[in-house]
């Protein structure tokens, strides 16, 4: 019995270590009018571990259905494209920001626009879960080093 208990506790401490290898920060969800049932979420992913991490799924407590997206240029037009996965290489930082990678949240729950914040969940290919609290705001910066444009 004792042997089994030790094996289980090692398993859980390894899980906790893996969890800490990807930090999700500066999470924001774009605030849109109440008539909108979908919006985009942005955040910064920092892989502090020694192995690549591939995000394969996402969810939110205000949306039953989320997709990983990016923007591509097609015939000079910026278009959204769904991605099956996004890999953050070991030691690298990836910015989800307007015009680039973003998380689309669909079928948003009623009155989501009245909330100040919501939870985002990211899952990697090894089924590790990463959770972050995202601010729901219309002030979305363009990413590191850039500030919001002033509203006139």
Residues in contact with Cu ion by CB under 5 A are 69, 80, 104
| Closer to Cu ion by Cβ: residue 21 or 94 | 94
Give the angle subtended at the CA of 25 by the CAs of 146 and 87, to the nearest 5°: 95
* Torsion sign across C-alpha atoms 114, 132, 70, 141: positive
| Closer to Cu ion by Cβ: residue 38 or 46 | 38
Terminal CA-CA length for the chain? 68
Report in angstroms how near the CB of residue 98 gets to Cu ion at its nearest.
Answer: 10
Residue nearest to Cu ion (CB): 69
Report in angstroms how near the CB of residue 64 gets to Cu ion at its nearest.
Answer: 17
Bridge partners (DSSP) of residue 123 are 57, 129
Report in angstroms how near the CB of residue 142 gets to Cu ion at its nearest.
Answer: 16
| Closer to Cu ion by Cβ: residue 30 or 53 | 30
Report in angstroms how near the CB of residue 28 gets to Cu ion at its nearest.
Answer: 15
**E strand spans, 64-142:** 65-74, 77-83, 86-88, 93-96, 102-106, 117-124, 129-137
- Dihedral of CA atoms 96, 97, 99, 103 in degrees, nearest 10, equals 50
| Closer to Cu ion by Cβ: residue 23 or 100 | 100
| Closer to Cu ion by Cβ: residue 30 or 132 | 30
For residue 15, give the 3-state DSSP assignment: helix
Nearest to 27 by CA among 63, 69, 60: 60
Report in angstroms how near the CB of residue 149 gets to Cu ion at its nearest.
Answer: 20
């Amino acid at each position: 019995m004792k042997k089994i208990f030790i094996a289980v506790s090692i398993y859980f401490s390894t899980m906790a270590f893996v969890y800490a290898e990807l930090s999700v920060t500066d999470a924001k969800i774009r605030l849109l009018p109440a008539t909108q049932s979908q919006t985009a979420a942005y955040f910064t992913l920092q892989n502090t571990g020694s192995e690549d991490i591939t995000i394969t799924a996402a969810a939110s407590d205000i949306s039953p259905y989320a997709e990983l997206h990016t923007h591509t240029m097609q015939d000079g037009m910026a278009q959204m494209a769904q991605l099956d996965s996004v890999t953050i290489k070991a030691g690298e930082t990836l910015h989800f920001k307007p015009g680039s990678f973003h998380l689309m949240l669909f079928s948003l729950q009623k009155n989501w626009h009245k909330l100040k914040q919501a939870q985002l969940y990211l899952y990697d290919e090894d089924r590790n879960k990463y959770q972050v609290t995202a601010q729901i705001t219309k002030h979305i910066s363009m990413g590191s080093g850039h500030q919001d444009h002033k509203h006139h």
